[in-house]
Amino acid sequence: MGRSLYIKITAMLCAIALIGAGITALTAAPHTVRRAGVRIVTSFYPVYIAAQNVANGVDGVEVVNMVDGQFGCLHDYQMSPLDRVVMDSADIFVMNGAGAEPFLEAVLAHHAPPVVITLSQGIPLLESGHVHSHDEEEHGHAHGEEAEAAAVNDHLWVSPRRYRQQIRTLCDGLKKADPAHAQQYEQNAARYLAQIDAIDARLQSAATAVASVPTVLMHDSLAYLAEDLSLSVAAALNLGEENTVSAATVSEAEDALKGVPFALFLCDSQYSQQDYADLQALPERSAVITVDTCVTGDGAADHWITAMTALCEAWEDGI
């Protein structure tokens, strides 16, 4: 009798669970946030800054960054169990894409959040100056999609014009996923885009004075910025991380700079230029501009605007 009752109760509970699941499946709109509180989780720091600006002040919307803001670029990052918990809590997950978060590829293929917004979508990409070593160590050699991802420059947010596209993609994605707050997302994005456009105009004006000046990029994070400003790139040395600049690359830079009347050096603030200071002495005169590429910080929503304003001032004062 006891066993029969147990079976009946178990069957009844299963039936209730199935009915509940069926109701959820029938009423759920795919890729749309359905509860009052909306949690936006971002992959890493520059994406977090972007999301804070577009979701600023939107009632019931929380923006959380998955990876600590002091870590920097995620090329060789290993996802932690806590990262997975944070990611699984997302109603909307926002990532840069373009190979910036390679550790997410397998995760998203098998268990993605309800909505994933990829900010590199639709943006023309440049090749990267290197292939990250983890591909070689783990796979022996890069191949297929891994090879393509390893060869792409992911630092889109350093370019005002591409960052503009990223903000537009983010706004459109949030409006679609959370239509109840669409007007607020649009208003926030419009304000932020106006600031980005002002920075772009200021940089374009400053760059006209050096349009034909040989420019040395000290990291490929600056390649999109150089393209924005139509700079004449004479050499590119991809410093930092696991990369070693080859002797041939250094030699080519030396040949391009010897006897040049004036050269511009663009440096990423993450990396020391000390080992290559001799290059700056090769032209008759040189200017060094250091760029905060916004990959680490304290989380201030205005970090990108502050960093790019400082770049404008350095450009205007230092050339």
HEC string for 178-230: CHHHHHHHHHHHHHHHHHHHHHHHHHHHHHHHHCCCEEEECCHHHHHHHHHCC
The alpha carbon of 202 is separated from its chain's Cα centroid by a whole number of angstroms, namely 23
- Sequence letter at residue 59: D
Q: What is the mean pLDDT of residues 40-60?
A: 97
Answer yes or no: are the C-beta atoms of 119 and 143 closer than 8 Å: no
> What sign does the CA torsion over 29, 31, 35, 36 have?
negative
Q: How far apart are CA 132 and CA 240, in angstroms?
A: 12
Q: What is the mean pLDDT of residues 247-255?
A: 89
pLDDT tens-digit series, residues 253-304: 999 999 899 999 999 998 877 778 889 899 999 999 999 999 999 999 999 9
Q: Whole-model pTM? A: 0.82
Task: Give φ, ψ of 127 to 5 degrees.
Answer: -75, 150
Q: Which residues contact 265 (CB under 8 A, 6 or more apart)?
A: 215, 216, 218, 273, 279, 280, 286, 287, 288, 289
**Buried-exposed string 268-285: b where 16+ CB fall within 10 A, e elsewhere:** bbbbebeebeebbebbee
The alpha carbon of 306 is separated from its chain's Cα centroid by a whole number of angstroms, namely 17
- Asked if pLDDT for residue 184 goes beyond 80, the answer is yes
Query: Mean pLDDT, the chain, as a whole number?
Result: 83
Q: How many residues does the chain have?
A: 319
Answer yes or no: are the C-beta atoms of 215 and 231 closer than 8 Å: yes
Q: How far apart are CA 205 and CA 229, in angstroms?
A: 9
pLDDT tens-digit series, residues 17-36: 333 333 333 223 333 344 45
Higher pLDDT, 258 or 156: 156
Q: What pLDDT is stored for residue 136 in this prediction?
A: 37
Q: What is the mean pLDDT of residues 57-75?
A: 89
Q: What pLDDT is stored for residue 21 in this prediction?
A: 36
Q: What pLDDT is stored for residue 142 in this prediction?
A: 39
Burial, 240: exposed, middle or buried (Cβ in 10 Å; 0-12, 13-18, 19+)?
middle
Higher pLDDT, 169 or 127: 169
- Asked if pLDDT for residue 150 goes beyond 80, the answer is no
pLDDT tens-digit series, residues 218-245: 999 999 999 999 999 999 987 765 556 7
- Asked if pLDDT for residue 104 goes beyond 80, the answer is yes
Strand partners, 95: 118
